[in-house]
Amino acid sequence: MTELAELTGAGVAKALLGKDVLPDALPWVTGSIGLLGTRPSYELMMDCDTLLMVGSNFPYTQFLPEFGKARAIQIDLDPTMIGMRYPFEVNLVGDAAGTLRALIPLVQRKTDRSWRSGIESNVRRWWEVMDRRAHTSADPINPELVFHELSARLPADAILASDSGSAANWYARHIRIRGEMRGSLSGTLATMGPGVPYVIGAKFGLPDRPAYALVGDGAMQMNGINELITIAKYWKDWADPRLVVAVLHNNDLNQVTWELRAMGGSPQFLPSQELPEFPYAGYAKLLGLHGVMAEKPEEVVPAWEEALAADRPCVVEFRTDPAVPPIPPHATWDQLEKALESIVRGDSDRGAMIKEGVKSKMQEFLPGKS
């Protein structure tokens, strides 16, 4: 894929389940695509004249080029997936790597690199925006800061699992894949609860590699706290004991809250969305694991460093602000209208919601790196 992208001067966007296919260090990799994706990926799709889809079942056509605007080619091992998502002109059934190798000798190198230069400029700009958004103040901790500070500290052989929920937004946008990192999540039906079980499975499959689960408190209360008992039972059998479970503690079913605001104009409904208090790090200690708590922004980095250096599995708990919005790469007018409607209807967190939303969106328009 890298060789073909270099020949054509293309950019590459990654479906979320393929986040670890190419490293984010490549300047023409635009990151994830879709509702949880990046602005450069959205711009790439909206402006391109040719689309090559390789081994992906990405279903959200609103994030692909408009029908008829781009010529399209699909490569997929499964013939039942051919032509399902887009009007492809050329459909190739076969192994992705083998098919790409067969295509490369037929491709002429593109000499005009202006398109590639524009993509790389958009990617650089995006990472500057992500840095600014991570360091925007929140009450108490900005969840984007949690993921931003983790990304650079991850070992190059890390195995990552994000749970469904707002944690998946920050995983998709802030974690930069490099080295031999692998990462996954429940990407097909966005089922809650797989984050901790996924890393347990990873440790049994690859016990000599460190694993990290990035989980919201809703998923932890569903099954994560029980899975800590499993970790406590088996961790001494693993060649490398490093397993970190990071919990975003905001007492809110946060992704549901934001989806109801943006899609239904519904204010937060506390009886079904407010979570009871639970001491995640404290519970880990009761099980003989390591536990770390961060309640202020300045405690985020020390908490990560302590968790990453622990001699046993660790739960690191961050008190995060539920009002920080998981803004999509392109918000439609209907989504904005519905979110405003939820405020008018008396959202219980409307003051913080407005403040954090404005601050987050402003970072896209500020000049430079300041």
Write out pLDDT tens, residues 34-44.
989 999 999 99
Q: Are 60 and 35 in contact (CB under 8 A)?
A: yes
Q: What pLDDT score was predicted for residue 268?
A: 67
| Separation of alpha carbons 161 and 212, rounded Å | 6
Percent of the chain with pLDDT over 90: 77
| Separation of alpha carbons 201 and 181, rounded Å | 16
- Summarize the confidence of residues 273-287 as an average pLDDT: 96
* Per-residue pLDDT at 357 exceeds 60: no
* Per-residue pLDDT at 341 exceeds 70: no
34, 12, 36: which is closest to 24 by C-alpha?
Answer: 12
Task: Go through the domains of the chain in sequence order and give each one's CATH number.
Answer: 2-122 (3.40.50.1220), 135-362 (3.40.50.970)
Q: Are 249 and 320 in contact (CB under 8 A)?
A: yes
| Separation of alpha carbons 328 and 42, rounded Å | 10
Q: Is 142 helix (H, G, I), strand (E, B) or coil?
A: coil
Q: What pLDDT score was predicted for residue 35?
A: 86
* The residue to which tokens 């450069």 are assigned: 40
The whole model's pTM is what? 0.89
Q: How many residues does the chain have?
A: 370
Q: What pLDDT score was predicted for residue 328?
A: 73
* Per-residue pLDDT at 333 exceeds 60: no
Task: Give the tens place of pLDDT for each residue, 259-273.
Answer: 766 666 677 667 767
